[in-house]
Structures are given as C-alpha cells and as structure tokens.
Structure 1
C-alpha cells in the first residue's frame, strides 16, 4: 500500500474532522463500519458529518418531507458524530450551514461525494480555506476550466470510479479502500458486514403495530418493497400485489401475512389498488415516524422481496433472507450476504426493473423452500 493521503502527523495533532457526503440509507449501511473503524483508530478526533441534500430546492412545500429524511434518525442514534449538518435542503439553510462549518476551522475536510465531484471540491475548500481538504476527482475534459480550478484547490484526491472498473468488487470493499487510502485503516470482509442496532422501544412498537392490525403472534411475514427513488429501479405496485396473491397459493405461504412498503406520496394509490384486489392478509406500511420502524419490522419477517434500494441492504443487516430485483448497471451494489440473498436481474444491460415478471420472482420464492413458522 502506498503512503496514506492524510499524514499520521496531521491526524495525530487534529482534534476534529468533517466528512461530507450526499448519503443515502444504502450508503450508510456500508459506510457505518468505516466510520466506526476511524473512531477506533483515532479516538482523539471528533467526527462531524455534513449530509448534503442533492434534492435541495427553493420550493418550500417540499421542505417538511426533506427535513424528516429518515437517515438522520439512524446517523444520530449511532453516537459516532459530535455534530451533524442536516439542514442543507434549502438554498438559504445550505448557506447558513457553510457559515457554521467555516466557524469550526476544520483542520481536515473529506468529501465522499460521487456526483458533481468538482462542486464538492469547491465546497470543502470553501468550508476550510486553510485546512487539508480531500475530495473525489474525475478526469477533466480539455477547456473545462471550472473543474480544473476546483480540483487544483484540493490537497489530495480519491480517484473517481466506474462500475465497469471494479471487477466484481462490492461497494463495501470500495468504501473500505477509501478509508485505507486516506487514513491507513484496513478492515476485513467480516468487519464490513452491515448491521443496525434497533432500539428496544422500536422493536416493541413493531410487534404492537402488527398485533393491532390483526396479525397473529408467530405468523409468517413477507415484506414487499416495489419502490425506489428512481423510476427505472421501481416495480409496478400491481405486480407486487399479484406476487402476494400467487404466494398465497403456495403451501408455505397459505396462512402467511404480507407487509407492502409504500412511500407516503403513493399511499392513496396503494389503498385504492388494495381495495380492488383479492389479496388476503396484507398490510400497508410506511416508516413515516422514525427510521427504526423499518428495520424493526424487517427483523420480524421471514422473507423480504425488494427492488434495488436500501431495504435489500437492510435485509442483510437484520439477517433475513432477501430476493432482490436488480438492474445490471451497478453490480457493486448487490446484497453482501450471498448465502441469504437471491438476485433476480433484468436481462438487458440497461433494462429497467419492469422487465422482470412475477413468475421470475415466484420461482425464487419456491426455490427458497420456506417452511412456515
């Protein structure tokens, strides 16, 4: 391994560090272990985290939803970070956050942002004019002066990556390699396995919510998630309902219950579809109150079926078998627990999840050979 990007001498004398990232739940599922490894290696350094909201908007009607981003519940509960900048969802709050961060005079600022990398190179230098700043760097085209100047402001950089260059490497290994390059921290594959510490009150709440909706204690549960933030990674809700109905025809799932995950803005549509369907024992779910509602419920299930989003990674974190519906564009994001994960991939290189049929998923359900609890 070549010399680490941030010198041991600088790390030894620094009292704090700011990490900048446009984190999604899936990112943090794997980066959490990296941050914990940093905490163990450098216990004298206080970690601060800037969660940049890529959906930042001047539309005030969208602010309440962005303010309640469930990632903040999880990040805050870990106890890893002494300060979290989570008010970046409006242009005004973004600027206020920059001023607050500048006042900290960070000796080290590191950006893990993989979108619009040059803008984050500018941001980290703006936050820390005199500190040691690192960001992702992408190849600059000829005459792209702004990007060239942005990257020149960095003291060190992490090379940008392409999925096609990873040669089967998992995203957790890539994140681990960043921390090794930066800080000389090495982690084993076992240490990269995701986990989530669910507070006892949310575990109890999940059991109570199921009981209140008529689910018998010990009933076999399947969690179904058709939604992703992007249309190309989402599955029609109608197909998920058809899948549940077909599963009820299997001996193992004849008396099973199904939890249908629905994003808040699609609840009315889901209720209307459910009212017209013949599916028995099905509940609608949305973690509107707190992030931990989701993993607490997932942990009570015997099977999780999800499109390519945080739910399929959290399935591994709570050690529940998962059937993942995936595109071929980001193979580094497959579930890490191969033994407890089945992948249903689209056939074409850039195909959408909608190419996957109900029968393909049902075949994997049969293959798992679930035995009713």
Structure 2
C-alpha cells in the first residue's frame, strides 16, 4: 500500500467500520523493497504512510515491520498467533504471492483475495497459488477501456469482500490533520516570509518511479518563468523534495533557485506534507500521492501524468487540471515547460 492507495482506501475502511463497529481491523502493509541491507532500513522503517495509518481510528493494529527478511518472519509469526478467522488480500501486484502469504498467516481461516482474470498456460505455479484463496475478486486491468476511477474500484472491492455499499460521495478523500501539524505549517510559512497573503505555489517533481518524475532544474526554470509575469511576481514557491534526494536538491538550490523559493521535505512526520499543502494556493505535481492529497485538502492542482494509469486521475475534476504525455509509454519528462506555463496562466489567480 502507498499513500495514494490509502488516500482513497481509508474512506472504504471508514465505511466498513461504520457498518461493523464491532470489527477489529488489523492491517498488514507489505514492503516490496524488503532487503538484507541495513543501510536501507532507516528509510524503509520511517515510511511516512505509517504515521497516517497509526493515526487512523479505523485501524486497530498495524503490521509495519516488514522491511527486512528477519522482521518479516517475525511479523508472520505474530499474525499466526492471532489465528485470524478472515484474511482479505487487497494487493493487486503479484496476487499469487499474497495468496501464499495470506494462507501462511491464517492456515485455518477463510481467505479472500484479488486475482487476475486470466493466467497464461505456462503460469501453472501462479494458478496453483491462487487456489489458496477460498474466494476471489477479479482484478481490474489498467489498460482496459473505460477503466473506472480508483476510488470506484476500491469501493467495489469492499462491496465484494464485505458487502459494504459505499456511495460515490463517500469515496471522496478527506484527511484530518492534527492541529499540532497545522501549527507547524503556519510557523513554517511565517519563517519563510509567506504569511503576507500573497499566493503560494507548491511544486512536486518527485515520484517513486523515474518515469513519473520531472527534472528539478525544470522546476526552477518554471518558477523563474512565472516570476516574469506580473500576476505571479509576488508569489512564493515551495518545492517539495523527498528525503532521500535532499542532498542533491540543496546543491542545485544553492546555484539555481530563484527568489522566494523554499525547499520542503516532510522529514519528521507524514502530516507535515498535507498541512503545508493546505495553506497553498496552487499545487503543481507529477503523478504521485501529492495530487490526491491536493484533492483531499481542497487545493487546486495541476497534475503531470502518463497515459498508462487513467484510473489514477485526480477525483476532483473541477479543481484539477491534467497535462498528459502525448503517447502511451512516454515519460513525464516529455511534458515541456511551455505546456505547464500555459496551464498555470490559464487558471484564475487564487
């Protein structure tokens, strides 16, 4: 599960908890980057999603120690001691692998999981693994025609697995930001000199996949170009950086950053990010969790997207503008500065 997944799936967990308040929800978050390399553990251990999950009133227990093989084995043993009567796998990648994991966690329980609609003739081991599920839910295909929005897909999964109907209005993401982190964001804006009422643009060029990233050099070029326009001359700019890229970003910032530009990274807690987003006037981001959090905090967003996953477009079409690459398979780097400038300048100044 990633932050983008939980942005929508949390609404399903809320509906499930409302329908069955007696139900205890224990959530297993698997770390697909699991490694024996101790140097990677601090980053994996502090994945910011865990802050949000721990604060959720819907989640009664969280299995988040899966970033090393030894801890993964310990988590499985801990889960086995619970003797779960029901396990539901909502993992849409490598479904067969999680069928085996679900059965290992609950050897005697009833397990349900997602599965591809068709397996090829030579994928016998995968078909056998899928048989470990007692019941299955068909997996959507990203490239199918008229694919529904991811919020609708998740609602359908919960309807199939738990019999919980989630109305379209209830699928819209929301986030409860603790006041502590709103105080932090207001203090950070004041320290940056952004508390004067001038518009503030939040720009994010980072995504987990290289194919969805935008060059940081282009971000600074975008800011310089915007500052040449009178209506944006007094604007402030917050440039988001993932913690692992801070060293490179700071070096580039020192040589290329325009005035009134500030680097930001949610190094301490997940809620730093939505708190800062909520105070901005406009968010410009590549295809990643930030564009969904923008909808959750009700700030207009311009999203730079590939064509590969149309189900992940922002849900709030009224307050979202999308710039899509020209061809299927193209990387987000194919989106040029003029396209983004045109989209920003066509929007009314907040």
Please give the per-residue CA displacement for 1:54-93, whole angstroms capped at 9, x wherever unaligned.
Answer: 1111111000110000001001111211110000000000
Residues of 1 paired with 2:212 and 2:345: CA distance?
Answer: 24
Are the equivalent residues in 2 in contact too, given 1:70–1:291 (CA < 8 A)? yes
Counterpart in 1 of 2:311?
332
Counterpart in 2 of 1:215?
194
Deviation, 1:272, is 2.0
Counterpart in 2 of 1:72?
50
In the alignment, is residue 28 of structure 1 matched against residue 6 of structure 2? yes
In structure 1, stretches of 5+ residues that fail to align are: 1-22
Secondary structure, in 3 states, of the residue corresponding to 1:44? coil
Deviation, 1:268, is 2.2
Counterpart in 1 of 2:293?
314
For these two proteins, the number of residue pairs brought into alignment is 349
Aligned structure 1 segments of 4 or more residues deviating by more than 3 angstroms: none
Deviation, 1:275, is 2.0
Counterpart in 2 of 1:301?
280
Q: What is the aligned-residue RMSD (CA, Å)?
A: 1.1
In the alignment, is residue 92 of structure 1 matched against residue 51 of structure 2? no
Deviation, 1:143, is 4.1
Please give the per-residue CA displacement for 1:29-66, whole angstroms capped at 9, x wherever unaligned.
Answer: 00000000000111111110000011111111000110
1:231-246 matches, within 5 Å, as 231-246=210-225
In the alignment, is residue 191 of structure 1 matched against residue 170 of structure 2? yes
Counterpart in 2 of 1:205?
184
**Residue 116 of structure 1, aligned match among 77, 94, 118:** 94
Tell me: CA distance 1:242–1:102, structure 2 relative to 1, closer, same or farther (3 Å): same
Residues of 2 paired with 1:159 and 1:185: CA distance?
Answer: 17
Are the equivalent residues in 2 in contact too, given 1:56–1:90 (CA < 8 A)? yes
Secondary structure, in 3 states, of the residue corresponding to 2:258? coil
Residues of 2 paired with 1:143 and 1:276: CA distance?
Answer: 54
Deviation, 1:145, is 3.0
Deviation, 1:265, is 2.2
In the alignment, is residue 130 of structure 1 matched against residue 108 of structure 2? yes
Are the equivalent residues in 2 in contact too, given 1:166–1:332 (CA < 8 A)? no
TM-score normalised by length of structure 2 = 0.97
Deviation, 1:144, is 2.9
TM-score normalised by length of structure 1 = 0.91
Deviation, 1:98, is 0.3
Deviation, 1:253, is 1.2
Counterpart in 1 of 2:158?
179
Deviation, 1:247, is 1.0
Are the equivalent residues in 2 in contact too, given 1:227–1:235 (CA < 8 A)? yes
In structure 2, stretches of 5+ residues that fail to align are: none
Deviation, 1:182, is 1.3
Deviation, 1:248, is 1.0
Are the equivalent residues in 2 in contact too, given 1:110–1:134 (CA < 8 A)? yes
In the alignment, is residue 290 of structure 1 matched against residue 269 of structure 2? yes
Residues of 2 paired with 1:64 and 1:278: CA distance?
Answer: 29
Please give the per-residue CA displacement for 1:342-362, whole angstroms capped at 9, x wherever unaligned.
Answer: 000000111000000011001
Deviation, 1:166, is 5.5
